[in-house]
Chains A and B, each alone.
Chain A
Amino acid sequence: MNDLFIGFTSLTWQMGVMYIIGGVLIWLAITKEYEPMLLLPIGFGAILVNLPLSTVWAVTGAHGAEPGFLQVLFEMGIKTELFPLLIFVAVGAMIDFGPLFKNPYMIFFGAAAQFGIFATMIAATFLGFDLKEAASIGIIGAADGPTSIFVSSLFAPRLLGPISVAAYSYMSLVPLIQPPVIRALTTKAERRTRMVYHESNSPKWLKVLFPIAVTMISGIVAPISVPLIGSLMFGNLIRESGVLERLSKTAQNELAYLVTLLLGITIGSSMKAEAFLTLDTLMIMGLGLVAFVFDTAGGVMFAKLVNLFLPKGKKINPMIGACGISAFPMSGRIVQKMAAEEEKGNIILMHAIGSNVSGQLGSVIAGGMVLALVPLFMIL
Chain B
Amino acid sequence: MQNFIDTFKYSGISMQALGVTIGGLVGVFATLGVFFLLIWLPGKLGKRKD
Residue A27 interfacial (CB < 8 Å) = no
Q: Out of B10, B18, B30, B39, which one reaches A122, CB within 8 Å?
A: B18
Query: Does A104 lie within 8 Å of B36, measured CB to CB?
Result: yes
Residues of chain B contacted by A366 (CB below 8 angstroms): 24, 28
Question: With an 8 A cutoff between CB atoms, is A121 at the interface?
Answer: yes
Bound complex: CA A377 to CA B9 (Å): 5
What residues of A have a CB within 8 angstroms of the CB of B29 in the complex? 108, 111
| Minimal Cβ-Cβ distance residue in B for A112 | B29
Min CB distance A137 to B, Å, is 11
Given A107-B39, A373-B24, A377-B9: A362 and B17 interface contact (C-beta under 8 Å): no
**Cβ of A14 under 8 Å from chain B:** no
A104 touching B25 by the CB < 8 A rule? no
A146 contacts B by Cβ under 8 Å: no
- Which stretch, A124-132, A174-182, A277-285, touches the partner chain B? A124-132
Residue tally, chain A, CB below 8 Å to B: 45
Q: Could you give 24 example pairs across A and B, Cβ below 8 Å?
A: A100-B39, A101-B39, A104-B36, A104-B39, A108-B36, A111-B25, A114-B28, A118-B20, A118-B24, A118-B25, A121-B20, A122-B21, A125-B13, A125-B14, A125-B17, A134-B17, A135-B17, A203-B46, A206-B39, A217-B31, A369-B27, A369-B31, A376-B5, A379-B10
Flag whether A208 is at the interface (Cβ < 8 A): no
What are the nearest 6 A-B pairs in CB distance?
A118-B21, A104-B39, A369-B24, A369-B27, A377-B16, A104-B40
The prevalent SS among residues of B at the interface is helix
How many chain B residues touch A (CB < 8 A): the figure is 31
Map CB proximity to B onto A91-118 as digits: 1 under 8 Å, 0 otherwise.
Answer: 0000000001100110110110011011
Q: 0/1 per residue, B8-50, Cβ < 8 Å to A?
A: 1110011011111101110111111111101110110010000
Q: Would you give the shortest CB distance from B12 to chain A, in whole angstroms?
A: 9
